[in-house]
Chains A and B, each alone.
Chain A
Amino acid sequence: MRLPLLCALSLVVTATAQDAASWWAWRPLLRPPVPDVGADAFVSNDVDRFVLAQLRERGLRPAAPASRTALIRRLSYDLTGLGPSPADVAAFAADDRPTAYAELVERLLASPQYGVHQARHWLDLARFAETNSFERDGRKPAAWRYRDWVVDAFNRDLPWADFLVQQLAGDELPDADVATVTATGFLRLGLWDDEPTDALQAVYDDLDSIADTTARAMLGISMGCARCHDHKKDPISTRDYYAFLAFFENLRPYRPLGGNGGALSPENYTRTLPVAGALGQQEAATAAWRAERGALAARAAAAADAGYRQLSPRARVALLADAERGLVARYSADRSDAQQLRDDVAHRDGAIEGQVVPVDGRVGTALRFDGDDRVVLPLLVRDSFTIAFWVRSHSHGRGDSNDPRWYFGDGLVDGEVHGEVADFGIAWLGDGCIAAGTGAPDTFVASPPGHADGQWHHVAFTRDAASGRIALYVDGALAGAATGSTAPLDAPPRLVVGDLQPGDHGFTGDLDELCFFDRALAPAEVVASALQLRGGVAAAAACGDGGSALTAFAALPEPVVATATVLCARETGARPAPSFVRIRGDVHQQGEAVVPAFPAVFGAGPPRIEPQAFGQSSGRRTALARWITAADNALCWRVAANRIWQHHFGRGLCRTPNDFGRLGEQPTHSALLDWLACELVARGGSSKAMHRLIVMSGAYRMACAEDAAALAQDPQNDAFWRFDRRRLSAEELRDSMLAAAGTLDLRIGGPSVYPPLPKAVLATSSRPDEAWGTSSPQDAARRSLFVHQKRSLQEPLLAAFDLADPDSSCPVRFATVQPTQALMLLNGEFAQATAAALARRLEREADGARAQLERGLWLTTCRPPLPAEVDRLLALHAELCAAHGRSPADALQRCCLVLLNQNEFVYLD
C-alpha cells in the first residue's frame, strides 16, 4: 500500500466543528473597519492604515520611501518578471509629475509580459510539468496549451472565480470552448505511473493528487493526510476526504484500471477541438467538408467502377497490372497467423514478434499493435519506393509533433540505422502526427497533428531516387514534400513494422493493407489508392467526370477549422459509479459509501449537482467549483488575496499560503487580509485591480532600510517596518541575463523550447540522445516559462536557482545560496555565452571601454552607475589588457561576466 507520508506530530488537539469555527481562516468573511490612523505622510491608501496601525502598536515607524530607481525596478520585476530598461529608469526618475507612478503601474499591468510572470506563480501551485515522471517520464500531450491558457487568463484579467471554475470544470460549462476545456488541463498535471505495480492504487494516487492540489491551491486546506486517518489538527475527517475526492472520481483514469502494461489512455485525457468559436459551432463546417469529400470520392469511385466494367477482361487485367505496377509486396493482414504475416504478392512473409492480434480492419482484418509488438519484414525497398498503408490509433505517440524527426516517434515502418546513413522510416509522433524521412542528410516530411482520432487514415510515403524527392500523403492529400539524398538507401537488412529498429518505440494502434512499391506513385495514384478505386486512376479517368472528381478531391481544401488537441478533463458519463471511503488509505478496502460533499466543518449543505446536458459529464466538478468560488467562501478569497500580497512583499500576510489550517501560521495582519479578500470580491475578482491597490500603497513603496533598533525589535519584519529584499527567482535571473545581453526573445506561447544542455547533464539520463530536444538559438532565448519542463531532467541553471519541484504544489520557492550557483554563473556555458553577447551589445551601443562599462552597469543594475564602480571596472579592464594580454574585446567580455555575477544584479531592493 502506498501511504501518503507522515502526518504532523499529534498534539492533544481534538478538533470539533465548534473550535473550527473559532479558527481565524474558517470564520465568515466580514469586512473589517479600516483603522483610523489620522493623517500621516506614510499613508497612500487604506492598506497603509492597517499597516501603520500595527506599526504604531509595536512602537515602530515605517521606513522612508524607496528611491525612484529602486521602485521602478521592484515594480517591473513584481509585475512582469523583467527589469526596466535604462531608458525607462531614466525617464521615470526624471518624471516628477504626481501621476508618473500610477502611469507606470498601468503600463506594466498592460504588458503581455505581466501574464508570463503571474502564470509562473500559479503553475508552481498547480505542480505544472509537461511529463509524467516514473521510468519513461513520458510527455503529456500539449501540456503547453494549459500553460498558455494560464498566461492568457492573467493577461485578460479573467475574474478569479472564472479562473478557478474553468480549471475545475471548464468542460462542463454551457458555453464551453477550447479555452475553457484547455483550462481543465489543471486536472491532468500529476505523476502518472504507466507501469504501476497496483493499477487501482495508481489511479487513486492521481485522484489524491488532484484533490489535494485543488484543496491547497484554491482553499489553503491540507487534507492529504485524511486519506488514511482523520486529520490530527484540522476538522477534516477521512469521510470528508473521500466525499471531496468523489467530486473528481468520475474523471476517466489516465490508464486502464487493470493490468500493468505500459500503455496510457490518451483518449481519456485529451480532446481535439476547433480552436475558434464555441464547441459545436464549427462542427457543421467540418461535416460539410467531409460530405463534399465523400461525394467526390463516391463519384470517382463510381466512375472508376463504371469505367472498369466497360472494359474487356483483357483490358481489365492490363489496368490492374498497371495499377499494381511495381508492387513488391502487399500485406493485407487477412491470411496471417500468430507468427507470420503473409505477403499476397510473392512470399516475402514477415515474422510477428509479440502478440499482434487481428481486429476488424479497413479491409478484412488488420493488425493490432499494443506498444510492445513488432513485425519484421525483409528489406523490400532500396531506391525509389512507395510505402502505403492504413493506420488507426488513439495513441499520441512519442516525440514531439513540432519535431519531425521520425526516429523519436513510435515506429510504423522503419529502416533506421544509427548514425549518419541513408536510412529511412515512417513513425507516429506526439499528438497524432505522422512523420517520415530519409537520412544522409536527414530530410523529413510530416503531417499536421490530429490523427489520433481512432479513425482509419491512409498514409503513403514516396521517394524518387533520381531526384531525391520524398513526399508524404495522408488520406490522399499531400502532407509534405522535401528533397533529400539521391544515394541508394543503406537500410538494415530487415524492416520493422510497428516499432523502430532499436526497439522500445512500439506503436499502439492498428495497421492494414501495407503495400510496398519499387517506384514513387504519382499523386493521382495515391488518391486512387486512398479511395480504393477499382482499376485505379485510368479506370476513373475513362468514365464521365471520374477524372475531374479525382482532381477535385485531391484539390479540396480542408475547412479552415483549425483544431487543437488539448490535455483536459473527460468523465466516464453522466452517472458516476458509487464512491467509498477507502479504509486506512487502502484502495482495495472499501468502507462506507460516500456522496460528493464539502467538508462538514463548512456547514455548506449538500452540493447541487446537475449532470451536463449532453450526458458526458456528471456536473460534480461544476458544483465543487461553484462552491469554492462563491462570494461567501471565505477561504477561497483569503487564500487568493494572500497570494497576491505574497508576490509583492515576498511573503504572504499568512506565511503558509497553502495551509490556512492549524498546522499553518496565523497571519501577521488578519484584519488587513480579510479587508483585501473583501476588496478582491468587491472588485469582481480582478487580480489587476488588487495589484494596483497594493503597489499604490506606501507600504509597497518603502525602502529596504537598515534600522538596527527596528531589526532588534522585529527581526522577521512581521510588522512591515521596511520592505524585504529578495533574490530573483530562477526564471527572473535567466531572463534578466538574456535581457541584459539583448538576446531575450519576448514571444509568448506555443510548444516549449529546449535551450541547449551541457552534455554532462544529458548523460545523466538513461537515454541521453532522446532526453532533450533542440531549438533554434532564437527559440532557446525565449523566456524561461517556455522552457520545456521535464520532471526527470530540469534545465540546470533554473534547477540550481530553486525552480519549484513540480511533483507537488509549491506555495513558496526556496531561495538558496550555494557555491554551485557561483560555479554555474562563472564557468557555465550559458553564463559565458551570455557575457559574450552582452559584450557585443555594449560594443554596438557605446564607444570606448568607459562608456561600454557604464552602459553595462546600467543594464545590470537598472540605475545610473557611480563613478567609483565605473573606475573599478575600468581598472579591471585595463589590467586584463595589460597584465593578462587580453584584447579590449576579450577584456570587456570578462568584465561582463563580473556584471552578471553582481549581488545587485541577482537581488532586488
Chain B
Amino acid sequence: MDREPHRSTFCGRTRREFLWQLGAGFGALPLVDLFARDGVPPRRGGPTPHGDPMAPRPPHFAPKANAVIFLFMYGGPSQVDTFDYKPKLFALDGKTIDVDTKGRGGQKRQGRVVGPKWRFHQSGACGKHVSELFPHLATCVDRIAFVHSMYADSPLHGSAMLMMNSGRIQSGAPCLGSWATYGLGTLNQNLPGFVVMLDQTGGPISGAKNWSSGYMPAVYQGTVLRAQGEPILDLARPAAMTEPEQRLLLDALQQQNAAHLATRSSDSDLQARIHSYELAWRMQAHAPEAVDIGSESERTRALYGIDDARTADFGRKCLLARRLVERGVRFVQIYSGGNHNDNNWDAHGDLVFNHTLHAGRTDRPIAGLLTDLEQRGLLDSTIVVWGGEFGRQPTAEYEQGTGRDHDAAGFTMWLAGGGIPGGISVGATDELGNRAVERPFHVRNLHATILHRLGLDPNALSFFHAGLQQRLVGVAGAEPIRELV
C-alpha cells in the first residue's frame, strides 16, 4: 500500500480536534488531555500504528519510573500493629477512653483500646519502628517511604476499594492502572499493560469494578492474570489444537481477510484487526514464558518464599510481578486477601489470628520482591506501593476480643522504588494512631504521587467524558506528596 492508512477515529469514536489543538496552542492552559475529548489520538506522537490505543506514548515530563507494582492489602491492615508505632497505646490496652471513630459500626465517641498486639523494633539505618509481624520487611526499611497520614472518604469496603483504585467512591471511573496505561501505553504489546493478580480465596468485593476502565475503552481495563494454570483468559489453545494447526488456521484467516481488504484498503480498522490476530499469536507465545518461573534459580525462589507453603502463593505472584515488569508491563496489582471475613485483612474478630495469617503470607515475599528488584536494577524504575483501602481503629469493635473496626481517618501506606527516597516517614496520626493530624494526605495525593513518578502531570492527565474533562485526581486536583518526589 502506498499511502498511510487514514486514521479518523479513536476506538470508533470520531472527535473534532479543536480542543486538543487549543490545548496544544495555549501552553498556559492548565489542562492538556492526551486524547483530546473522548478521543483523537495525540498529535505529539504522530499517528500510532493502526491508531493503537496501547502504543507507547511519551509522558508529560521525564519520568522517574515506568512501572508500578501495587500490593493491595485488601480488608485494611491495622496501622498501629504494623508500621505506625504508638508507644502510648500499649499501656492503654483494655481501658475505655473518649475517641471519635467512624467505621462499619457507625460513629462512636468512646471505645476500649486494644493495645498493639506485637512488639516493635527499630530497624535499618533510619531506625524505623516495625512490628514483629514483618521481620523480613523490617530489613528493607531504608528503601521505603512510609506515609502515616493517609485518609480516605469512606470507611466501608465497597466504596473505599473503589476510591483507592479509581479515586471515586462510586463505580464507573477508570482505575489507576487504566490511567497509567492510557497515559503511557504499554512497552510490550505481547503482554497486557495492566495486570491484576487476585488472592487464592477469590476476588475482592465489587469484583471487576476494582480493575475496570469505567468510561474509557475496555482496552485500558486490568487483565486478570492467574499465577498458575492458564495465565490469561482464553490464552491457551484448546487442548485439541496444535500450534502448527492454529498457525494454519490463522494463515487461512489472514488470506481471507486480505482478500476482503483488497477492495477496502483505506479502512484502518480492518487492518488493525488483521494485525490484532498476529498480536494474539505472539501473546500466546510470550505470556506463558513470562509467567513460567521454572527458569528462576532456587535462590531466587527462596528469596520470595516459594519454598514455604505459607508464603508460596504470594511469593509466586511477587516473582511474577517482577518478571512482568521486566518485560514491560506497566501496572501490576496483587491482592493479598480476597473473598470475605478473615480471608482478608478485615480483622473484626480476632486481630492476632487475622494479621498473623496475612502478614505471615506476605512479609517474606514482599521483602524478597524489593531485594530482587534492587539487585536487578529494577527498583529505580519501579514503584512498589503497599497498603489497603483504609486502616483500623485503635479501639475494639466489640465488647470482647481484639477485633478492630475500619478507620479511614488515618492509616499508613508505603512506597518504595521509582526514585522515591527510602528510610523516611511522612505525616503522622494522633498519639492513638486514630486520625491523621500531621500533613494529612488524601488518596488523591497518593494517586498524584504515583502518576507524577511515571512522568504524568496528575492535574493535566484527563479524558473527556460526559461533558467533563475527567481526571483521576478529581475536580479539585491534587498535588503529589512533596517528600516523595
Residues of A within 8 A of B (CB): 2-9, 11, 133-137, 191, 193, 195-197, 205, 216, 222, 224-225, 228, 259-260, 504, 651, 655, 658-659, 661, 663-665, 704, 706, 708, 711, 715-717, 725-727, 758, 760-761, 763-768, 771, 791-794, 796, 799-800, 802, 805, 807-809, 812-824, 826-828, 832, 868-869, 872-873, 875-876, 879-880, 884, 886, 890, 894-895, 897-898, 901-904, 906-907, 909
Contacts and interface: CB of A to CB of B under 8 A. Distances in A.
Contact of A5 (B157, B189, B212, B471): B471
Nearest to B466: A808
Contact of B246 (A9, A726, A815, A826): A826
A906 B270 CA distance: 10
B25 interface: no
B360 interface: no
Contacts of A832: 238
Interface in B127-174: 153-159, 161, 168-173
The winner among A133, A197, A872 for most chain B CB atoms within 10 A is A197
Nearest to B223: A820
A880 B248 contact: yes
B28 to A, nearest CB: 11
A134 B158 contact: yes
Interface in B274-298: 274, 276-277, 279-280, 283-284
Contact of B253 (A808, A812, A875, A901): A901
Contacts of A897: 249
Contacts of A504: 340
27 contacts: A3-B475, A6-B468, A8-B469, A9-B469, A133-B172, A134-B158, A135-B157, A135-B206, A197-B154, A222-B468, A664-B467, A704-B264, A727-B12, A760-B230, A805-B212, A807-B215, A809-B466, A817-B276, A818-B54, A818-B218, A820-B234, A823-B280, A827-B236, A879-B248, A884-B242, A901-B277, A903-B257
Given A766-B340, A807-B171, A821-B276, A9 B218 contact: no
Contact of A884 (B30, B245, B477): B245
B218 A898 contact: no
Interface residues of B, number: 111
B150 to A, nearest CB: 16
B340 A817 contact: no
B302 interface: no
A127 B270 CA distance: 30
A222 B466 contact: yes
A791 B476 contact: no
Contacts of B31: 9
Contact of B209 (A763, A791, A901, A903): A791
A818 B13 CA distance: 15
B410 to A, nearest CB: 16
B320 to A, nearest CB: 16
Nearest to B274: A903
A251 to B, nearest CB: 19
Nearest to A830: B234
Given A661-B467, A815-B12, A894-B241, A902 B257 contact: yes
Given A661-B467, A818-B218, A902 B249 contact: no
A901 B276 CA distance: 12
Contact of A191 (B102, B157, B170, B266): B170
Contacts of B246: 826
B427 interface: no
A855 to B, nearest CB: 16
The winner among A815, A816, A886 for most chain B CB atoms within 10 A is A816
B96 interface: no
A222 to B, nearest CB: 3
Contacts of A880: 245, 248
A198 B276 CA distance: 46
A828 B106 CA distance: 46
Contacts of A818: 54, 218-219, 276
Contacts of B267: 725
Given A823-B284, A898-B253, A771 B171 contact: no
A134 B218 contact: no
Contacts of A812: 12-13
A876 to B, nearest CB: 4
SS class of chain B's interface: helix, strand, loop or mixed?
A: loop
Query: Which 4 pairs across A and B sit closest by C-beta, in order of nearness?
Result: A135-B158, A815-B12, A807-B172, A222-B467
B57 to A, nearest CB: 17
Contact of A8 (B236, B242, B464): B464
Given A767-B339, A802-B217, A817-B272, A792 B468 contact: no
B234 A224 contact: no
The winner among B204, B246, B255 for most chain A CB atoms within 10 A is B255
A415 to B, nearest CB: 22
A819 B156 contact: no
Given A6-B471, A197-B154, A894-B245, A903 B273 contact: yes
A655 B272 CA distance: 23
B206 A137 contact: yes
Interface in B422-472: 462, 464-471
Interface string B193-221: 00000100011111111001011011100
A767 B202 contact: yes
B375 interface: no
Given A763-B198, A817-B272, A820-B223, A135 B205 contact: yes
B340 A767 contact: yes
Contacts of B111: none
A827 B238 contact: yes
Nearest to B220: A816
Given A137-B206, A764-B207, A903-B260, A195 B280 contact: no
Contacts of B11: 802, 814-816
A812 B217 CA distance: 11
B252 interface: yes
Contacts of B352: none
Contacts of A799: 218
A639 to B, nearest CB: 14
Contacts of B471: 5-6
Contacts of A817: 50, 269, 272-273, 276
A836 to B, nearest CB: 10
A872 B251 CA distance: 10
A827 B235 contact: yes
Contacts of B158: 134-136, 193, 195
Contact of B234 (A664, A717, A823): A823
B161 A135 contact: yes
Contacts of A193: 158-159, 170
Contacts of B338: 766
A134 B171 contact: yes
Contact of B269 (A2, A717, A809, A815): A815
B226 interface: yes
A813 B467 contact: no
A828 B11 CA distance: 23
Given A765-B202, A793-B207, 19 more contacts: A4-B468, A6-B474, A6-B477, A9-B469, A11-B22, A196-B159, A197-B169, A205-B170, A504-B340, A658-B466, A706-B263, A764-B198, A802-B11, A815-B9, A819-B189, A821-B276, A876-B249, A884-B244, A904-B260
B226 A760 contact: yes
A659 B50 CA distance: 29
Given A6-B474, A197-B156, A902-B256, A771 B207 contact: yes
Given A6-B474, A715-B8, A768 B260 contact: no
B245 A766 contact: no
A663 B276 contact: no
A764 B474 contact: no
A43 to B, nearest CB: 26
B29 interface: yes
Contacts of B474: 3, 5-6
Contacts of B263: 706
A133 B170 contact: yes
Given A8-B468, A767-B340, A823-B234, A802 B218 contact: yes
